[in-house]
Chain A
Amino acid sequence: MLMQFAASGFLLGSVYGLIALGFAVIYKATRVFNFAQGMLMAVGAYLAVTGSVALHLPVLGTFAFVILSAAVLGALIQTVLIRPLAGRPLLPMVMITIALSIILRASIELIYGGGGRTLNLALPSGSVLIGPVRISAIHVTAAAVSWLCMGLFMAFFRFSKAGLLMRATADSHEAAVLSGVNANRINALAWALGTVLAAIGGLFLGQLQLASVELEAIGLLALPAVVIGGLQSIPGAIIGGLLVGLIEQLASGYISPKARDIFIYVPLLLILLVRPWGLLGERELGRV
């Protein structure tokens, strides 16, 4: 059973890691704690419903539709809502993202109705037995795509010009601007990427169960993942996601589903008390 839980935890944690990565990208670039990340994930699931059911797109077409739509949405959010408040205190920024989450939820319900929607993309189904461990093809696919996205993003962040500019802007906003970097464009790109990553996670979670606004609550598990891993650490977000997935499966399996939240949030509290910059984050030192 341990190996089964570990395998399930790893696969599910990969999806959490993807969503947490989107969260970390947004925070690292714009210093915004995006409470709407969970709802953006639900948006991804509904975009997949639109692509596959309303537009009758094939699987790859649906993926492309979700990615493009999410990117546009993310850039729009940054341009219209976040950019005007740049430089303001933390509270208005937090309230904006909370309000955004509520608005997105209400918009989904207006457009798609209150109930969930079935998402039946032509993705691999069935299961395979590897030793004592049985894993479903859809879980493997979700994890594989998540790792592919994370790998592509890491490569983009490290080796591309835009990624370099993004890192520069995140390290020192003022220096980047003085060097001629269009910080607004870079921040919009960060929001676009963060929203795309959440949307892809939402697509798979919607396929696993149902596209519904209640997916937001699952998406918000990315928050403890990113805090545990390190708010400003890209690898930390991924590792945090894996840890949350493993803890969830092991606690639910060996103790009870109620124990899940205790075993996820107690480490969160400890990290905030002892090492608030996270497992892989960097301690920030201020000069007075």
Chain B
Amino acid sequence: MISNRLRLLLAGVTLCFAGVAHAAGFESPQDGVYADHIDWGMTADMSGPSSGAQNPWGQGFQTAMKVVNARGGVNGRSINVLVEDTRYDATAERVAYEKFVSQTPTLGTSGMGNSSAQTAMIPLIKRAKLPVLGTYTTAKATVEPPTPYFYGGFCGFKEMAQVGVGFFTDHLSLKSPKVALVRLDVASGKEFAGYVEASVTARGGTFKDIPIKVVAADATPQVLEILAMKPDFVAIHGVTTTSILVMKGLAQYGLTAPAFAITYLGTPSVYESLGPDAGKNYSFVSCFSPASSDPKASAAMSAAADQYGQGKLKDDVNFVAGWVIGNMVADAIAKAGAEPTREKLSQMVNAGFTANTGGLSSELKYTPTDHLGLVGLKPLSYDYGTKSFRSYGDYADFTKYLN
């Protein structure tokens, strides 16, 4: 005869097993959730005009997911990354998003490195409710005001401008900085110009906006404008080739004013191409830390990069960004519970979510009123002697420039 106590114990154990079995067996194909895996979307320019920066990001993201899966996945499920190459084309970005909504449903998507596409897709994202978690770039319109189901994953242009202008003004002990900005004549370039101008004029300085074409074979006109102005320092927005042309042009004319570039332009290939003469005056601001700038924080990332054949990219700030976002996505999925759905994931993130980035980035935090995520940045430069990046301080040292 079984005692009541034993009956209760057996019933409790049975219920527990039933619960686990139920959770393990939970599937929601319309959310990309299956018993043994979760589908997650990723879009990036892997072969188009900005592939030089976005390809490493994609590699970092996928490397992070490989490590997560090697450790057993999230709540017993592996994460299956579905990759779409959007070639920096807004239409392709939209097609890929819609594919992840219904054709090959995913729990969420990351990447979306085309700010024009992001802005155009705001109504679609609100309607389709497929979370976009961790973007490569973040259009102003998507976070001011915060778009539901959309969460940025890269440093904002406003913060880049504020930290860059603030740091160099103080670093050079300037009272009224004279700043020249060379930028692409595209939406993000105009946006960045507005932020730089605001930061400069707030300090009583003067500002000159100098556009350059994406496809430029020479930067002589831009360099001559800079020479005529004789700025205290130069800000650069563009692609790797234009930043190289501008810096080499400045070196050619013997202009030694320091320059800071946006995060995307802080890559080993840019510094290698510039060489020590032109590169010694070149810095960039970033919310991510290249491996060599913080070997302790990047140990796990470096090991994974070497293991999965991406060792050459670990010092590329874009790879680091992808790695950080990949880990953040895995963390978010875990916190969404054993029965994740798109709605649960969004609610969890929106309620307030802070990712553990292991010191590889500034704080990555979402709140109901802040979907930008990464706010802190720090300036970095390159030491040609040791072939490593070095930062001018910790992220916390530069929060004073943000407002």
Contact = CB atoms under 8 A, between A and B. Distances in A.
Contact of A114 (B46, B241, B245): B46
Contacts of A15: 217
B241 A5 contact: no
B55 A208 contact: no
Contacts, number: 100
Interface string B228-245: 000000000001110011
A214 B217 contact: no
Interface in B68-97: none
Contact of B215 (A127, A214, A253, A258): A214
Interface in A114-152: 114-120, 125-127, 134, 136
Interface string A1-26: 10011001000100100000000000
A27 B349 CA distance: 60
A212 B217 CA distance: 12
The interface centre, meaning the residue of A120, A205, A209, A256 with most chain B CB atoms within 10 A of its CB, is A209
A118 B252 CA distance: 19
B221 A117 contact: no
B52 A115 contact: yes
B191 interface: no
Contact of B218 (A8, A116, A118, A120): A8
A113 interface: yes
Contact of B224 (A118, A221, A253, A257): A253
Contacts of B214: 214
A118 B269 contact: yes
Nearest to B242: A209
A209 B241 contact: yes
Contacts of A86: none
Contacts of A270: none
B220 A4 contact: yes
Contacts of A106: 47
B208 to A, nearest CB: 13
Interface in A244-262: 248-249, 252-253, 256-258, 260
A114 B47 contact: yes
Contacts of A134: 252-253
Interface in A163-212: 205, 208-210, 212
Nearest to A8: B220
A256 B269 CA distance: 29
Nearest to B245: A209
Nearest to A127: B252
A157 B240 CA distance: 39
A282 interface: no
Contacts of B56: 115
Contacts of B204: none
B202 to A, nearest CB: 27
A214 B241 contact: yes
A230 B252 CA distance: 35
Contacts of B244: 209-210
Given A209-B244, A253-B224, A217 B215 contact: yes
A99 interface: no
A115 B220 contact: no
Interface of A: 1, 4-5, 8, 12, 15, 106, 109, 113-120, 125-127, 134, 136, 205, 208-210, 212, 214, 217-218, 221, 248-249, 252-253, 256-258, 260
30 contacts: A1-B224, A8-B218, A113-B55, A114-B46, A114-B47, A114-B55, A116-B240, A117-B269, A118-B269, A118-B273, A119-B273, A120-B273, A125-B277, A126-B252, A127-B253, A127-B254, A136-B248, A208-B245, A209-B245, A212-B241, A214-B214, A214-B215, A214-B241, A218-B217, A248-B218, A249-B220, A252-B221, A256-B211, A258-B185, A258-B211
8 closest Cβ pairs, A-B complex: A114-B51, A115-B52, A253-B221, A114-B55, A217-B215, A252-B221, A8-B220, A118-B272
